[in-house]
Amino acid sequence: MNDLINEILKLKKEKNAVILAHNYQIDEIQDIADFVGDSLGLSQQAAKTDADLIVFCGVHFMAETASIISPDKKILIPDLEAGCSLASTINADQLREWKLENPDALVVSYVNTTAEVKAESDYCCTSSNAVKVVQAIPKERKILFLPDKFLGQYVIAMTGREMEIWNGACHVHEKIGDVNFDEAQARHPYAEFLIHPECGCSSACMLKSQIYFDCKNTHIFSTEGMIDYVKKSDADEFVVATEIGILHRLKKIKPDAAFYPLSEKSICEYMKMITVDKLYESLRDNKFEVKIPEEIARKASLPIQRMLEIV
Ligand code: 13P
Ligand code: SF4
């Protein structure tokens, strides 16, 4: 393994490449990466890097976003099959039809969407700035929010805005809603609960709470929001409701604290498709390049730019 890692580092230098990895990547990939973060952080890195080549260790829509932001750079993803169940819940034709039914509405698309869907959108957002993006839209404007229904409900709760929400969900996070939240709180009475807004349980938590989000010791965050919270927190026990890849980074930040996944089964098989072998082959053979047709990239870049401006 060490030889392979050395080869990766050598190739990276030769090709002036940067390796970006999402917080759900396997531990070894996180350790090799130049930057590990959430969707927003990775997009920001893609926008500002002076590398010639970006190897995106994440899922396809993330590499597409990097390609749109940095059209002059070569963007690689080590496995083209690394998709996203949530992004697959809506395509551009479905969005066009929804827009026809609501001609006066503005479209806010979560970054977990294809480039074609982004090209039909007015704003993009990530889980860390969805609330701010919606708040930036004039109150009188109708909003179509897609594709995640749980994130949409969270945004409604936090902004008080009426929005129409697409009925999409991520297969990993939706299932976390099946876990008995009260039982988990009874098992870990002193723990801080960190919940991703894509989770089914985020809605259960909102329902229980009178003043959204002080459902005792419970906080709703993007993956990077969880990292920031743990860095500042004095607590030494955390229950984490998201994909379990994030536990690696959390444990590195606070080695003496205890981290429990709310559900051990929260594994995104798409994120786990990226392996060290595939990363090596990707850098060695320049595969697989992610390139967006010019017209789609041009249209998609405006909502992405808005997403990067509202942080
Ligand atoms: P974050 O932007 O919070 O990392 O979320 C991305 C994602 O795909 C969640 O499933
Ligand atoms: Fe998509 Fe869900 Fe995987 Fe995130 S965890 S990349 S939303 S399938």
Q: Mean pLDDT score of the chain, rounded to an integer?
A: 94
Give dist(CA 80, CA 83) in Å, integer: 8
Distances 216 to 39, 164, 194 between C-alpha atoms, Å: 27, 29, 11
Q: With contact defined as beta carbons under 8 Å apart, do 110 and 148 qualify?
A: yes
Give the pLDDT score at 206: 67
> For residue range 176-188, what is the model confidence (pLDDT) as tens digits?
888 887 888 889 9
The pick from 112, 125, 222 for probing ligand 2's pocket by mutation, whose C-beta has the most ligand atoms within 8 angstroms, reads 112
pLDDT for 293 beyond 90: yes
Give the pLDDT score at 183: 87
Q: Whose CA is nearest to atom 1 of ligand 1?
A: 38
Give dist(CA 161, CA 139) in Å, integer: 8
Q: Whose CA is nearest to atom 8 of ligand 1?
A: 112
Lowest-confidence pick of 1-15, 62-76, 171-185, 192-206: 192-206
Give residues (CB < 6 A) around ligand 1: 23, 38-39, 112, 126-127, 170, 198, 222-223
pLDDT for 90 beyond 50: yes
14 C-alpha to center of ligand 1: Å? 31
Give the pLDDT score at 185: 86
Point out the ligand nearest to the CA of residue 175: 2
Residue type, 216: K
Domains observed in the chain: 2-84+271-291 (3.40.50.10800), 87-169 (3.40.50.10800), 172-261 (3.40.50.10800)
Give residues (CB < 6 A) around ligand 2: 59, 84-86, 112, 170, 172-173, 198, 243, 268, 270-271
Q: Whose CA is nearest to atom 6 of ligand 2?
A: 84
156 C-alpha to center of ligand 1: Å? 19
pLDDT for 212 beyond 60: no
Q: Whose CA is nearest to atom 4 of ligand 1?
A: 38
Atom of ligand 2 nearest to the CA of 198: 7
Give the pLDDT score at 209: 55
- State percent of the chain over pLDDT 70: 95
Tokens 């808005």 sit on residue? 306
Q: Phi-psi category of 160—alpha, beta or left, where left has phi over 0 and alpha has psi -120 to 50?
A: left
> What mean pLDDT comes out for the span 29-57?
96
Give dist(CA 183, CA 81) in Å, integer: 37
